[in-house]
Amino acid sequence: MSLKFYNTYTHTTEEFIPGGVRKNTPADYDAVSIYSCGPTVYSYAHIGNFRTFTLNDLLRRYLKYSGYKVEHTMNITDVDDKTIKGANDNGLSLKDFTEKYTNIFFEDLASLSIEQFEHYPRATDNIDSMDDIIERLRNKGLVYEKDGSLYFSIAKFEQYGKLSNLEKRETISGARYDADEYEKDDARDFALWKASKENEPSWKIKSMDGGRPGWHIECSAMVRKIYGKTIDIHTGGVDLIFPHHENEIAQSEAAYGEPFARYWLHWEHLLVEGTKMSKSKGNFYTLRDLTEKGYSPRAIRYLLLSAHYRKQLNFTLEGLKGAESSLEKIDNFITRLNSVNVEETNRNKTVSDAVELYLKDFSESMDNDLNTSGAFGAFFEFMHTVNPLLDRAISKEDKEEILSALKKTDMVFGFIFSDTKTIDAELEKRVNTLIEERKQARIDKNFKRSDEIRDELLAEGIILEDGKEGTRWKLKK
């Protein structure tokens, strides 16, 4: 099976072909160019936002798993109504205020095991690219000025509304709008550049002596600056389909005369009691709210990935507790696997069959428009088959094959191993030797040495558990 995505732009599920020209294998393609709309850095992001950001990570990880190279960009919106107000209210420069929240955002991404992308451009560092688009649009007669702001005239861009099926709605063209947030269905001429007000930062562009960028132009500008051509995939939460992404398409395609993006993927929302989790509704949890309550970022990642991205996901603390207990089962399984008795025995066909089935079901589900719930199912089925086999000794090869399937799929899941150290064979060997030494020390009643070993390992984040079957070990969460 080949990788397929539901493309919002064509409203159909399509085979993924980077660059638009089919090649033999994923490795033959140039790096897949991805652009994901990033955060507005005026406060802590909530876990609804992190559903979106975790799904961006999932997409990138699965492309890599499938053998593609990726070049991924996420912008940082560091100038808009909210960041300007936040900086003013806190008596900070816009730069200092937004850097603070950008750093917090990066810390949160790291704790959710979200990989580092190739580019994180800031809007305020890219005014020159915005100026370029505005100039091109002005030369084509698509821009008009009103009260010091520049507007894009949507009536002059024929395909306006294709992404969001806007033709089915009533549009009000020729009316102007320059706030960063719109009413749904309200298709008005949008501000490319906003007149500067008092106490607001201001930049000069070729056609204006001052002012600041509108929100939509920043993404169009960064895509052009970084990739310089049509990109493969553009992503964002479903709320961005209209007007943000519609406006990005209009500006970019009108300015550069070529398609903006081939595939549009939109992540559904995280809900709380049936409504979208959002700052303005006040029904949100930040990552830190939850970690302070004792929940692990790993469980949050697990929960956010558990549902298919095109389905809304209702957030509850009960659901998060469920994620924690699933992870406990996974940890116990890994502990059993790490400490299983290895003997020189024949290979067990049940193991190789289970591994083969797991990897097949995993990639079939993920190829099918990133169906994570199917992939989770395949993983639990695999654990279920392998777990009873660990009651007895297994062959070294079987153990390695199981571990390697888990490591491979964890390149995508990012939650199976609570720490990458678990998968380090060196560490495993060292810990097992120390466990043996400790066993002997206890037989010799050398409790000082046995405690020393336990404490030494604990300092490294390794917990020893003594049980009937001997000593098992696991990594501290």
Least gap, CB of 439 to ligand AMP (angstroms):
50
290 or 475: whose CB is closer to ligand AMP?
290
Residue 416 neighbours by CB under 8 Å, 6+ apart: 330, 334, 379, 406, 409, 410
- Binding residues for ligand AMP, rule: CB under 6 A, are 37, 39-40, 48-49, 51-52, 236-237, 239-240, 267, 269-270, 276-278
How many residues form the binding site for Zn ion (CB under 5 A)?
2
In the complex, least distance from residue 252 CB atom to ligand AMP, rounded to whole angstroms: 18
Minimal distance in Å, beta carbon 375 to ligand AMP? 20
Compare residues 208 and 240 and give the one whose CB is closer to ligand AMP: 240
Q: State which residue, 219 or 255, has the beta carbon closest to Zn ion.
A: 219
240 backbone dihedrals φ, ψ, rounded to 5°: -90, -10
Q: Minimal distance in Å, beta carbon 270 to ligand AMP?
A: 4
Sign of CA dihedral 379, 381, 1, 347: positive
By beta-carbon proximity to ligand AMP, the closer residue of 315 and 362 is: 315
What amino acid occupies position 392?
R
Distance, C-alpha 50 to centroid of its chain:
7
Confirm or reject binding of residue 219 to Zn ion (CB under 5 A).
yes
* Min separation Cβ 323 and ligand AMP, Å: 17
* C-beta separation of 38 from 76 below 8 A: yes
Grouping H, G, I as helix, E, B as strand and the rest as coil, residue 117 is coil
Which position among 34, 37, 187, 277 is part of the footprint of Zn ion (CB under 5 A)? Answer: 37
Rounded to an integer, what is the distance from CA 365 to the centroid of its chain? Answer: 18
81 binds, among ligand AMP, Zn ion, none (CB under 5 to 8 A by kind): none
* Token pair for 438: 């400790």
CB contact at 8 A, 233 and 263: yes
Q: Does 226 bind Zn ion (CB under 5 A)?
A: no
Q: Is 327 in the site for Zn ion (CB under 5 A)?
A: no
Q: Does 76 bind Zn ion (CB under 5 A)?
A: no
219 in Cβ contact with 129 (< 8 Å): no
Output the CA–CA distances (angstroms, integers) from residue 59 to 96, 228, 312, 409, in the order listed: 32, 22, 18, 13
Which one, 79 or 427, has the nearer CB to ligand AMP? 79
Count of Cβ atoms closer than 10 Å to residue 18 Cβ: 25
Sequence-ordered list of residues with C-beta below 8 angstroms from that of 2, at least 6 positions apart, any chain: 15, 16, 367
Q: Which of the choices ligand AMP, Zn ion, none does residue 219 contact, using the CB cut-off of 5 to 8 A by kind?
A: Zn ion
Q: Is 5 or 53 the residue whose CB approaches ligand AMP more closely?
A: 53
Nearer to ligand AMP, 50 or 376 (CB): 50
Give the binding site for Zn ion (CB under 5 A): 37, 219
